[in-house]
Amino acid sequence: MDTERMDTYSSGEQKTPDYGYDYQQYDRIWQRVLPELNTFPEARNEEGDLPGTPLPGNDEMAALPGAQENPCCMGTAAQQSIGVIIGFTENEIALCRFYRCLIPHAPNQRAGAALRQILANAQDNVRRLRAVYYLITGNCFQVTRQITMPTIQGYCPTLRGAYHEETCTSLNYFRAAVGAPDPCLRALFERLGRAHQENAETMVNLLGAVIC
């Protein structure tokens, strides 16, 4: 907001009001930020009204972005799922470390490329969950438990274990989606559940290419 416009509601010398300026629009903004502020006093008429478009009624005000006390997504309702989000984030971090260790054991370039894609997806999941955590809490995510580096003991047995881990993770996401009170969080959990289903299918394909 420029200096000339700020002068219309600051103390000191007042500027001649410009009635082409939509005072009501900016008055609504300031009333949300600082309700006790008497905005644009020199522009008000005898009834105290401002020039511009009519002020919306209560129902219309409730529909304006940011007007609701609890936003539609990633607000108060989503706070109930914080513990779940922390657990999922730490699990995705553990999966990142697991696949990073597994990639060098891939028997061929095709398998290596598939595992690198799963790793990239897991890294993206971590970024998304951390962003969601910040949207809900306003704080940066901090890992709450020690995540150890996995031990790879044979390519096929490790893929077998990875398949079961991916299917269980997928089911956990879908269960969390059913219980999530926040609609956007529910959609995210469903999306991540489907992603881990695809990872499990990739494990089946990788095993099918090398199993005796």
- The b-or-e profile of 174-184 (16+ CB within 10 A means b, else e) is bebbeebebeb
- Boundary (domain end) residue, out of 68, 103, 131: 68
82-102 vs 155-179: helix crossing angle, rounded to 10:
160
Distance CA 129, CA 135 (A): 10
175 and 98 share one domain: yes
Distance CA 176, CA 91 (A): 14
Nearest to 141 by CA among 96, 94, 99, 90: 90
- Least confident among 3-7, 118-122, 131-135: 3-7
Is residue 12 one of the residues assigned to a domain?
Answer: no
pLDDT tens, residue by residue, 149-206:
788 889 999 999 999 999 999 999 999 999 999 999 999 999 999 999 999 999 999 9
Distance CA 30, CA 50 (A): 14
User: Can you give the pTM of this predicted structure?
Assistant: 0.66
170 and 91 share one domain: yes
The whole domain housing 30 covers 21-68
52 and 152 share one domain: no
